[in-house]
Chain A
Amino acid sequence: MRAHWEHFSHRADMGVRGCSATLAGAFEQAALAMTAIITDPAQVKPAERVDIRCEGGDPELLLVDWLNALVFEMATRKLLFSRFNVTLDDGRLGGIAWGERVDREKHQPAVEVKGATYTALRVNRLPDGAWLAQCVVDV
């Protein structure tokens, strides 16, 4: 399957969903879906690199950790991300995110993400063998 992301509806906030042939790919796509809540990812240059590590817990807890680590990096470095690389190894996640500093004129950021939640949290294989990773994020 072609890797892709989408948003799903949550009345007050938004759900992010990533799908890919691999679990790591689904995590990357979910991260892209999160950026798309804030701005158009195509407008974000992958110029600066940030390394991220998360560990422990099941794949669902790891997804929330990964997204929350990105929220933290976005908030404290004032960055937006548009490219991601995730490797998963025995419950440990190594991630790289590339992005650029928020430019309010260029990016027109709609809303900041406060955190990823455990609501509608799912990481599982679809009948066609592809991976899905999703949860609701609080905005």
Chain B
Amino acid sequence: MSRAYSLKQESEFSWRLEASGNMRVPGIIYADETLIRGMDDKVFEQLCNVASLPGIVQAAYAMPDAHWGYGFPIGGVAAFDADEGGVVSAGGVGFDISCGVRALRTGLTVDEIEPVRERLANALFRNIPVGVGSTGLVHLDDDGMSAMLKGGARWAVEQGFGNPADLQYIEEHGCMAGADPMEVSPRARKRQADEMGTLGSGNHYLEVQRVAEIFNRRIADVFGLRENDAVVFIHCGSRGLGHQIGTEFLKYMVLAASKHGIELPDRELACAPINSELGRAYLGAMRAGINCALANRQIITHLTRQVFADILPAADLTLLFDVSHNTCKLETHPLGSEMRKLYVHRKGATRAFGPGHPDIPETLRAVGQPVLIGGSMGTESHILAGSETGAGLSFNSACHGAGRAMSRHQATKRWRGRSLVDELAQRGILIRSPSMRGVAEEAPGAYKDVRAVVDAAEKAGLAHKVARVEPRICIKG
């Protein structure tokens, strides 16, 4: 952090950038002092740019894991009112539409897994398509693709992937309303032809983890989590289809900005009025992208269950929850003294509805929505719950992960994949990956300390910490 931006500390975990210049609202960053000092100036620049977009309400927010993104900072949250000329931004959602995390309970303790852990790791690696060039088992014709884009995880369940009971533990009950498959181009469909039910690469993974620590026993009981339980985390998104939708609409929005009278401080901020043909087309395509991600995680869940059933027949894999962290959703939030319908962009940020929110499944409603925070490969991930105060602080949003501390390039100079795999194996973590260079780029040391991020999220009032989980098996793209 430099002195180029004058940040006013409002409380121990909240910092404010007053509205100045073209900014319509202030910028607010939730972080502790160390995290703020570690943030790139680009985060503040991007937050100011977001705050200048038409129709933005209240403030542009940055979560504790915020870092330099495209247009919007990653870890950015911004809400827009369609009736006040509000916009929707392809850059504000990102390329990997609805990238997210799903957590499954296994009904087993890690001690029950231990005798077969090696076999389980190998079978998961063999059965779940992962890495560059991998192909899924499901290939859809054009009609099938449209049905998937309309139905999301609900479509996947109808096709025999998983159980109807899974759906209530997925945001939007597994099916994003308002998806318009007609707005998804033939090129985007073609990119998805071989990629249904694949994990992808980069920071995407499937992990078998141990519940290492419970912070809040009352909420953990409701979530069905006990110490030493084995759980599964799946981190992936909408694959090639989402990437192509993002690519295409980013360009359309850049080209149409002047037609809509929008002056872009940064081309990557490309956006269109929600009430415009392009805005509506993007929302229809983006929602179809959300459904693709939900269907994808549902298929991978099914594959995971098959592997467990084969090796550990006593396992019962049930959904704790499924969160998405690259989205724009129409939600109702209090603004001043009234309730308003707002288009909330979360770019690398997790929705975190607090206790009592009607969109949380009934069995979890009393304690808040599960918020799943993926850490780096060899460290830990966290399970949080939406807080009572989150609504007033950040349109019910929290952080989404650790965030990189160094570039991929720096990481490969510092670590070798093979020695990392050996080192982690000695610490009891089995890594399976098709690419040793990929492993080096994802070295745990290349990421920030996820604990500092979730601590700041809790202390700022965005969410409550519930449990910490540690990896035992990691299938990595």
Instruction: List residues of A whose CB falls within 8 A of some B CB.
Output: 7, 9-14, 37-39, 57, 61, 64-65, 68, 71-72, 75-76, 78, 102, 104, 108-112, 114-119, 121, 136, 138-139
Assembly CA distance A110 to B32 (angstroms): 33
Establish whether residues A117 and B435, one from each chain, have CB atoms under 8 Å apart when the complex forms: no
Interface centre among A38, A108, A114, A138 (most CB of B within 10 A): A114
Residue numbers in B under 8 Å from A138 (CB-CB): 70, 94-96, 243
Question: A104-B435, A112-B202 are known contacts. Are A75 and B131 too (CB-CB below 8 A)?
Answer: no
Assembly CA distance A75 to B110 (angstroms): 38
Q: What is the chain B residue whose CB lies nearest that of A117?
A: B70
Establish whether residues A110 and B437, one from each chain, have CB atoms under 8 Å apart when the complex forms: yes
Closest 4 CB pairs of A and B: A109-B132, A102-B133, A118-B267, A110-B437
Known: A11-B40, A104-B435. 11 other contacts (CB 8 A): A12-B74, A75-B243, A102-B132, A108-B438, A109-B434, A109-B437, A111-B201, A111-B477, A112-B477, A114-B95, A115-B244
Question: A14-B407, A112-B202, A119-B268 are known contacts. Are A72 and B187 too (CB-CB below 8 A)?
Answer: yes
Q: Is B357 at the interface (CB under 8 A from chain A)?
A: no
Can you list 9 pairs linking A and B with CB atoms under 8 Å apart? A11-B40, A11-B404, A14-B407, A111-B477, A112-B201, A112-B477, A115-B243, A118-B267, A119-B268
**Interface size of B in residues (CB-CB distance below 8 Å):** 53
Assembly CA distance A76 to B440 (angstroms): 26
Establish whether residues A112 and B187, one from each chain, have CB atoms under 8 Å apart when the complex forms: no
Question: A61-B254, A115-B243, A119-B70 are known contacts. Are A139 and B202 too (CB-CB below 8 A)?
Answer: yes
Residue numbers in A under 8 Å from B190 (CB-CB): 76
Per a CB cutoff under 8 Å, which of B40, B194, B267, B435 touches A121? B267
Residue numbers in B under 8 Å from A115 (CB-CB): 95, 243-244, 246-247, 250
* Shortest Cβ gap from A110 to chain B (Å): 4
Residue numbers in A under 8 Å from B67 (CB-CB): 11-12
Establish whether residues A112 and B246, one from each chain, have CB atoms under 8 Å apart when the complex forms: no
Instruction: List residues of B whose CB falls within 8 A of some A CB.
Output: 40, 67-71, 74, 91, 94-96, 131-133, 135, 187, 190-191, 193-195, 200-202, 240, 243-244, 246-247, 250-251, 254-255, 266-268, 270, 403-404, 406-410, 412, 434-438, 440-441, 477
Residue numbers in B under 8 Å from A71 (CB-CB): 243, 247
Establish whether residues B68 and A12, one from each chain, have CB atoms under 8 Å apart when the complex forms: yes
Residue numbers in A under 8 Å from B68 (CB-CB): 10-12
* Shortest Cβ gap from B141 to chain A (Å): 16
Q: What is the chain A residue whose CB lies nearest that of B248?
A: A68
Establish whether residues B202 and A111, one from each chain, have CB atoms under 8 Å apart when the complex forms: yes
Per a CB cutoff under 8 Å, which of B96, B132, B187, B267 touches A104? B132
Establish whether residues B437 and A108, one from each chain, have CB atoms under 8 Å apart when the complex forms: yes
Residue numbers in A under 8 Å from B201 (CB-CB): 109-112
Establish whether residues B250 and A118, one from each chain, have CB atoms under 8 Å apart when the complex forms: yes
Establish whether residues A108 and B436, one from each chain, have CB atoms under 8 Å apart when the complex forms: yes
Residue numbers in B under 8 Å from A136 (CB-CB): 70
Establish whether residues B409 and A14, one from each chain, have CB atoms under 8 Å apart when the complex forms: yes
Interface centre among B191, B194, B270, B437 (most CB of A within 10 A): B437
Assembly CA distance A61 to B267 (angstroms): 10
Establish whether residues A110 and B441, one from each chain, have CB atoms under 8 Å apart when the complex forms: yes
Residue numbers in A under 8 Å from B410 (CB-CB): 9
Residue numbers in A under 8 Å from B440 (CB-CB): 110
Interface centre among B187, B195, B250, B409 (most CB of A within 10 A): B409
Residue numbers in A under 8 Å from B191 (CB-CB): 72, 75-76
Q: What is the chain B residue whose CB lies nearest that of A57?
A: B255
Q: What is the chain A residue whose CB lies nearest that of B245?
A: A115
Per a CB cutoff under 8 Å, which of A10, A109, A117, A118 touches B133? A109
